[in-house]
Amino acid sequence: MFRTLAALALAALPLRAVAAEIPLDQISAYLNGMTTASAGFTQRNADGSTSTGHLYIHRPGRARFEYDPPNRSLVIAASDAVAIFDPKSNQPPEQYPLARTPLNLILARKVDLSRARMVVSHSLVNGNTVVVAEDPDHPEYGTIALVFSPQPISLRQWVVTDETGGQTTVTLAPLQVGQSLPDSLFDINAEASRRSGR
């Protein structure tokens, strides 16, 4: 009986290893190794509405969200700011400090999820690793839940919870990494000038 139990226990060890969460240092290395990436995305907003579009990332510090019709909104993160362009307006975009958004944790020059108090939770959900993180110096900025699939590690989704508790979920198509992305994609001033006709 003892030998049978021991054999069952040993047989279960590989299963537990496969089902374990991806370690935080491996996730940090994956994000730090991602210089450029692009993917289609579906966004579910706090009010229940849904939109689609295409995302471009150029780490560190730059991202572009192009929304499909009928939305046609545009969001650019660059130069430590996030600019939101309203397709129905020729006014300058609304801008916010990138550091005040949880998205900054993905776009940081050096991602270190082992930093004290940064990770709120680290768990396995339906075979994917979910890491909930916040700025430990400013938890009032909200949290971001990052969902990673294993083998190979890939960012599949994130959920931003703002200071009011509202949630925005962005689900990614498979990321294409390593492309050459032009700087013009992330030029807030050039985009503002183009839209105003200057």
Domains of the chain (ranges plus CATH)?
A: 21-196 (2.50.20.10)
More reliable by pLDDT, 19 or 174: 174
Mean pLDDT along residues 78-98:
89
Q: Which tens digit of pLDDT belongs to each residue from 112-143?
A: 988 868 899 999 999 999 999 988 888 888 89
Q: Which two tokens stand for residue 44?
A: 């579910």
Are 172 and 45 in contact by the 8 Å Cβ rule? The answer is no
Q: For the whole model, what pTM was predicted?
A: 0.83
Q: Which tens digit of pLDDT belongs to each residue from 14-39?
A: 444 456 899 999 999 999 999 999 99
Cα angle, residue 100 at apex, residues 148 and 149 outer, rounded to 5°:
0
pLDDT of residue 198: 56
The average confidence (pLDDT) of the chain is 87
Residue entry with tokens 């150029």 = 58
Q: Residues 53-74, buried b or exposed e (16+ Cβ, 10 A)? A: bebbbbbebbbbbbbeeeeeeb
More reliable by pLDDT, 186 or 16: 186
Mean pLDDT along residues 6-10:
38
Which strand (E) or helix (H) includes residue 157? Answer: strand 154-161
Are 111 and 130 in contact by the 8 Å Cβ rule? The answer is no
pLDDT of residue 107: 92
